Amino acid sequence: MLIRRFNEDDMRAFEVLVTKYQRRVASLINWSVHNNSVTEELTQETFLSAYHALGSFRFESAFSTWLYAIARNIARSYHRDGHQLADNGVPLDILADDAEEHWSGVSCRTYAPSPEEDLSNVQLVKAIKQSIDSMSPQMRTSITMREIEQFSYTEIAEHLGIPLNTVRSLIFRARATIALDIRPLLDRVISAR
């Protein structure tokens, strides 16, 4: 409905789309480029590209699928142009809607993580990222689409052009790989308490 309103020259409809998807697009891009300022720039570029191409959107897939494909292509172009990964990225996916639900029961006034907890969280995120980076491209794409971009299994299967059971298997194996890779880090954290 928002896309149709945009195509009828309602610019506020596009603003609503940006508001709805901006954090997820930024999270997806940051996962790839690891640099907050570059993430911001490429997120803007993604929405600018979407703005120009939205008139040709054919409703053959979900808008989010189409938008995330644009974001992935822009991130790939960034790397293809010779840009390197930075080490100063902050995982923006912790700002996603489900993270708000997770922390809604925790009072900010009564809980502040210790420096050790902050360090453990940073190390955990880095270990998860390294684990995902070491996976096959198809497995890496599947787990990223599922856990970061919140695609359904069916949408992933359609996007990758593979059977649904293959997607389930890839995601199961990816989760098992991550769990195995981060286990030593979790054991250290548990034993330190």
Q: What is the pLDDT of residue 176?
A: 87
Q: Report whether CATH 1.10.10.10 matches the domain 115-192.
A: yes
Over residues 51-88, the pLDDT tens digits come to: 888 878 777 778 888 888 899 888 888 887 765 544 43
Tell me which DSSP letter residue 56 carries.
G
Q: Are 43 and 29 in contact (CB under 8 A)?
A: yes
Name which CATH class applies to 8-81.
Answer: mainly alpha
Q: Are 17 and 2 in contact (CB under 8 A)?
A: yes
Q: How many CA atoms lie within 13 A of 136 on its CB side?
A: 7
Q: What is the pLDDT of residue 191?
A: 57
Q: What is the pLDDT of residue 99?
A: 41
Q: What is the pLDDT of residue 5?
A: 75
Q: What angle do CA 130, 118, 186 make, to 5 degrees?
A: 55
Q: What is the pLDDT of residue 113?
A: 52
**Mean pLDDT, to the nearest integer, of 112-120?**
59
Distance CA 24, CA 97 (A): 9
Assign residue 150 a region (left: φ > 0; alpha: ψ between -120 and 50; beta: otherwise). Answer: left
Q: What is the pLDDT of residue 109?
A: 38
**Extents of the domains making up the chain:** 8-81, 115-192
- Is the per-residue pLDDT at 169 higher than 70? yes
Is pTM beyond 0.85? Reply is no
Q: What is the pLDDT of residue 120?
A: 66
Q: What is the pLDDT of residue 111?
A: 43
Over residues 178-193, the pLDDT tens digits come to: 888 888 877 665 555 5
Distance CA 143, CA 128 (A): 11
